[in-house]
A = this chain, B = another copy of it.
Amino acid sequence: MKKFNVGIIGCGRIGKVHAESITYHIPNAVVKSVSDVRLDGVKEWADSLGIQNVYSDHKEILNDPEIDAVLVCSSTDTHSVISTEAANAGKHIFCEKPIDYDLGRIQSTLDAVAKAGVKFQVGFNRRFDHNFAKINKVTKDGVIGEPHVIKITSRDPEPPPVEYVKVSGGIFLDMTIHDFDMARFQAGSEVEEVYAVGNCLVNPAIAEAGDVDTAVITLKFENGAIGVIDNSRRAAYGYDQRVEVFGSKGAVEAKNDTETTCSVSTEEGVVSEKPLYFFLERYMGSFVEEMKQFFAAIENDTDTAVQGIDGLKPVLIGLAAKKSIEEGRPVKISEIEALM
């Protein structure tokens, strides 16, 4: 069996998750090299996984002719540049979301990828979640007929630091972007128009940073379906991640995952478990699965499961949501595309 040599650029939390997924769960891939601009502790961690090379400059990875594929897990502002370099170097690319917040840079990245003819997969991991993948399958199998309404509940257990909010592009681009991808995935159609309402109800500092922490977003899809997403930066009971697709013949919905199926009955009531705490717990399986499918796409020379266009579209929707809340009106995606 040919083993693909992989380089991981950026060894933060998600880079490490992918390295472990590949090492433990992807028999036909091996992490040969990693790089990070800050190397404290990286060497020890890399050793523990048997990773051969640790670099401070990602170009060492791109220049290594034995490297077949790279994972771009560096800071968001570098995704498009490094992906473009990697494409030019002929490497297959797994790029963490978002590709960029700048539409021009996204487009030029996708152009470079197209020109190079390499595989390109964007890290919208939730498509690979066991629950949401099952919803998709049920819908695609026609069990619930034509989709009419896609409902997504997506609430974080804690707001991020305000410093992060200031540079992240705001809730629609750092948090809801996953839900926009999920909505497209489940609707099987493109969003035409967005309307967002929101408020700052969790932490006033978020309002000072110019953002909201509680939002409801309505999406009109080309196929007539309607999407609705509700977000909060803080659910006291934990990470609330539910999806429901309602269609002409029925509905399919996924409840939260929990640590156990136990319930305790006492005089106080019947108590069951809260949702799994946060995304690493909740979506661990999906991180493994997206790696599996990325390397399967390389091996079988098939389309990746989340392609370049899938990286672009949610950013368009996010920018439309931002404009919608700023201007207090529904915004068409075509308005945003016209700015590209």
Contact = CB atoms under 8 A, between A and B. Distances in A.
A44 B149 CA distance: 46
Nearest to A143: B264
A302 interface: no
The bracket for how many chain A residues form the interface is: 35 or more
Given A216-B218, A228-B228, A230-B149, A246 B252 contact: no
Contact of A134 (B146, B234, B260): B260
Interface stretch (A116-124, A172-180, A268-276): A268-276
Contacts of A232: 148-149, 246
Contacts of A215: 226
A61 interface: no
A263 B274 contact: no
Nearest to A145: B236
Given A130-B260, A262-B134, A329-B330, A250 B237 contact: yes
Interface string A244-256: 0010111111111
A301 to B, nearest CB: 25
Number of copies: 4
Nearest to A269: B271
Interface stretch (A65-73, A89-97, A193-201, A310-318): A193-201
Interface in A218-235: 218, 220, 224-226, 228, 230, 232, 234-235
B220 A197 contact: yes
Interface string A119-143: 0000000000011001100100001
A144 B155 CA distance: 15
B255 A261 contact: yes
B254 A262 contact: yes
A37 B69 CA distance: 41
A75 interface: no
A172 to B, nearest CB: 15
A156 B268 CA distance: 17
A48 interface: yes
A36 interface: no
Nearest to A253: B263
A130 B259 contact: yes
8 contacts: A131-B260, A201-B248, A216-B228, A235-B265, A236-B266, A253-B263, A255-B261, A328-B330
Q: Rank and list the top 9 A-B pairs by shortest CB-CB distance, nearest first.
A: A250-B266, A237-B265, A255-B261, A269-B271, A134-B260, A24-B24, A131-B260, A134-B262, A236-B250
Given A228-B228, A253-B263, A269-B272, 14 more contacts: A134-B262, A144-B266, A146-B201, A149-B214, A195-B195, A195-B218, A197-B218, A201-B224, A202-B248, A216-B228, A237-B269, A250-B264, A254-B260, A257-B261
